[in-house]
Amino acid sequence: MHKAVVGFTALALAAGTIVGTQLVREARTDRLAVTTPATTTSDITAHAVIDTVTTVAPTTTTPPPPPPPTTTAKPKPTTTKPKPKPQPAIGAPCSATARACIDLSANKSWLLDGAGHVTYGPVPITSGRPGYRTPTGTFRVQWKDIDHKSSLYDDAPMPYSVFFNGGIAFHAGSLSVPSHGCIHLSLAAAKMYFNTLHIGDIVQVVP
């Protein structure tokens, strides 16, 4: 009986030791579970990415040299030469380029060659009366009519008309009665002016 108790006691102690050891192991396991953080899949992936990243040395590029400074050339001052004054004709108070010259104050007129030389004249004229004064200036022959009649003054005859300023013309007319602006010539002079002057020729009237 005593041996049986002793055996039972020994068996119980052995079982207790085994149970205690198991409890100690379980306790350690629980403590490790508490103190050791769980490793997640993202942590593993992060470590893997960090391990595989390689450091690339920065590349340095030399900037291009700055463009050379642009110099804007200053424009040269332009000087306009004054037009030369027309040379006077020889023997008439007009410029050398005129083909017909009229001097209102002297009541005379000339034909010229366009180079300053008189070819005909001076011849007597009459010009516009007060209120119809013949305008001064430089004009050009516009048109001619050998048998013109005035559309303003009762179809008054104006033979051998050479128009140079609108309705103003050289034509045959009275050398004693002033006109309404036209230049009256003798019949012979009017024929000469009509045959000599052409469209575009310069007519100059001086006061």
Q: Please name the helix (run of DSSP H) or strand (run of DSSP E) that holds residue 126, with its range, or none.
A: none
Joined together, the tokens standing for residue 116 give: 């300053």
Residue 156 burial (10 A CB sphere; 0-12, 13-18, 19+): middle
Q: What angle do CA 126, 191, 145 make, to 5 degrees?
A: 90
Task: Give residue-wise pLDDT tens across range 62-105.
Answer: 666 776 666 566 666 667 777 767 789 999 999 999 999 999 99
Q: Is CATH 2.40.440.10 the right assignment for the domain spanning 100-206?
A: yes
For the chain, the domains span 100-206
Say what the pTM is: 0.59
Task: Give residue-wise pLDDT tens across range 20-63.
Answer: 444 334 444 444 343 444 444 444 444 443 344 444 455 556 66
